[in-house]
């Protein structure tokens, strides 16, 4: 882990300064269900035990990106670099009047009062990592038991895991008392094809109607690079087979991305291949996320950003 100092040099930006405007017009109420916000760190310091120090990517940058892409709703996922102080996320959610919602990072020892406070602030789920490059968290059985405390406030669990762990974690995940959302298509390796054991394990897990998946991360599972032709079949199959339990996100500002830096306009345009029909895109981008995240009406972003919504 990195020693915490306010003046610690930051990583170069993981995002494009000028992403392209997508050719694909998104349906009204479209949702980006996976983004993060970094800083500004003079207001929201990074966690002392973080494993990376990103350049600032504040809420104003996110709002401007969404205006370009045609996004009305969003899910802001608390980034590991800010740890379990969820202030950077609750601040951004508040600026939208909860037209955007948030996902927390938190210890399972959190008090009921703090859970209630975060729920009132517009957060609706808790994320747990099972990734080698991120801080190790609670054991999966402890997380599933913790889910009993999330049920009364209408929260879900969000799981970010190595593809090799999908089969091992499945028995626990299928015992969850609340919905489970799997990040980034389970982080499978696209070069291994649709028949690989890891993706077959994900498909088997998705047979549980309590489990959802984010068809985000084409840029992470690809081994060919943009426009991610090797990754698209995985997302398309998930949308085709589990169309009522899929959501999508850009993953802006693409933390720890090894490159090439994703063009968020391109990530929107490949939705035409991931969800080829208007009906599929309506479910993926509007109906499913509204059912899972329960957004407030998108009416305050213009006031928050100074841009037309």
Within 8 A by CB and 6+ apart from 37, the residues are: 57, 58, 59, 62, 76, 79, 88, 89, 92
| CA distances (Å), origin 32, targets 147, 215, 216 | 25, 11, 10
Q: What is the pLDDT of residue 244?
A: 98
**Residue located via tokens 């993981």:** 14
Q: What is the pLDDT of residue 51?
A: 86
Q: Would you give per-residue pLDDT tens digits along the chain (309 residues)?
A: 444 455 577 899 999 999 999 999 999 999 999 999 999 999 999 998 888 999 999 999 999 999 999 999 999 999 999 999 999 999 999 999 999 999 999 999 999 999 999 999 999 999 999 987 666 679 999 999 999 999 999 999 999 999 999 999 999 999 999 999 999 999 999 999 999 999 999 999 999 999 999 999 999 999 999 999 999 999 999 999 999 999 999 999 999 898 899 999 999 999 999 999 999 999 999 999 999 999 999 974 443 443 333
- Report whether 126 contacts 86 (CB < 8 A): no
pLDDT tens digits, residue range 244-292?
Answer: 999 999 999 999 898 899 999 999 999 999 999 999 999 999 999 999 9
Nearest-10 Cα torsion for 172, 173, 176, 178: 160
- Report whether 53 contacts 8 (CB < 8 A): yes
Q: What is the pLDDT of residue 49?
A: 83
- Report whether 79 contacts 38 (CB < 8 A): yes
Q: What is the pLDDT of residue 5?
A: 52
By CB neighbour count within 10 A (0-12 exposed, 13-18 middle, 19+ buried), where does 173 fall?
buried
Q: What is the pLDDT of residue 132?
A: 76
Q: Find the length of the chain.
A: 309
Q: Confirm whether 11 is a catalytic residue.
A: no
Q: Which of 251, 263, 264, 269 is catalytic?
A: 251
Q: What is the pLDDT of residue 149?
A: 98
């Amino acid at each position: 882990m990195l020693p915490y100092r306010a003046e610690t040099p930051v990583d170069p930006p993981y995002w494009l300064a000028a992403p392209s405007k997508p050719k694909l017009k998104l349906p009204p109420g479209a949702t980006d269900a996976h983004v993060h916000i970094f800083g500004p760190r003079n207001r929201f310091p990074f966690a002392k035990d973080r494993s990376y120090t990103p350049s600032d990517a504040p809420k104003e940058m996110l709002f401007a990106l969404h205006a370009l892409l045609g996004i009305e709703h969003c899910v802001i996922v608390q980034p590991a670099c800010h740890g379990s102080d969820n202030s950077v996320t609750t601040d951004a959610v508040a600026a939208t009047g909860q037209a955007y919602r948030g996902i927390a990072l938190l210890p399972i020892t959190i008090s009921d009062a703090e859970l209630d406070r975060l729920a009132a602030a517009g957060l609706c789920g808790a994320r747990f990592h099972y990734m080698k490059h991120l801080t190790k968290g609670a054991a999966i059985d402890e997380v599933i038991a913790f889910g009993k405390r999330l049920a009364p406030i209408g929260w879900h669990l969000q799981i970010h895991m190595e593809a090799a762990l999908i089969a091992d974690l499945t028995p626990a995940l299928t015992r969850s008392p609340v919905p489970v959302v799997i990040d980034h298509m389970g982080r499978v390796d696209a070069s291994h094809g649709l028949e690989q054991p890891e993706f077959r394990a994900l498909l088997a897990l998705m047979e549980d109607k309590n489990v959802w998946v984010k068809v985000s991360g084409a840029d992470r599972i690809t081994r060919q690079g943009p426009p991610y032709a090797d990754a698209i079949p995985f997302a398309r199959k998930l949308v085709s087979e589990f169309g009522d339990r899929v959501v999508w996100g850009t993953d802006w500002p693409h933390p720890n991305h090894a490159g090439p830096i994703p063009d968020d306009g391109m990530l929107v345009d490949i939705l035409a291949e991931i969800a080829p029909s208007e009906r599929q895109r309506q479910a993926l981008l509007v109906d499913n996320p509204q059912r899972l995240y329960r957004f407030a009406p998108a009416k305050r972003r213009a006031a928050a950003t100074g841009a037309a919504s």
